[in-house]
Chain A
Amino acid sequence: MPAHDWDGRFSRMLGDLPEAAPEETASSRLKARVYSALVRAQQETGPLQSLTKCEEAGRGLCMWEKLVQISPIGEKAKEPFLCWTCHARVLGEHIEKAPIWWAHCPYADFQKR
């Protein structure tokens, strides 16, 4: 029985796969789903960063967030994950190339890149 180096052969073939193939791209749907899950997990440990501080950090707010931000309501009411009630989230999580175009919406941004 010839002594074939099966371990070596399979190692070369399967071990080289990740480096040999180009990086694959995740769907915008997956990014949307992971984003929603992550922000919800963040929310479970206490309030999210306020919209005003998010904006001050250099990232724009979407038009709905902006509306909430300038509304004469208490700051507590502005803390929740507002996207949870937005149809853009539902579309983004279920449809690739969903028809969402407004600026600074993470679900729209996931589809652009």
Chain B
Amino acid sequence: MKEIKKKRILLGKMGLDAHDTGIRIVAKWLSDAGYEVVYGGLYNTAERICETALQEDVDVIGCSFLGGGHLFHTDRLLTQLKEKGIEGIKIMVGGVIPPADVVKLKERGVSLVFTPGTLREKIIEGVKSIL
């Protein structure tokens, strides 16, 4: 019988913001839900996230921002993915994101945005819906 490959998700923080409570909880929830989670830790550049994503052959990249750097860093990540010709990896973003910026992120191609207080089932449903 063919083994079903677990979907793989890279979670990590970009830039200097080190608030990692939320992303660690999400990592645990997704791994409990049956996904293979690669935790990339803090202080990643867009280049490093892309390298790790390629090495680990992930289906989704998720980054969290609690310091206001979400638009800048997400843009860098999207540009980097494009430059490297990486296609098919879905992007999700979480953290302290003002409502108007949720719209902007989605316009730029981010598949999912989760703000504080999002429940586990919403996150798992969301991830399932984009894979």
Do A and B pair up? The answer is no
Interface residues of A (CB under 8 A from B): none
Binding site for A on B (CB under 8 A): none
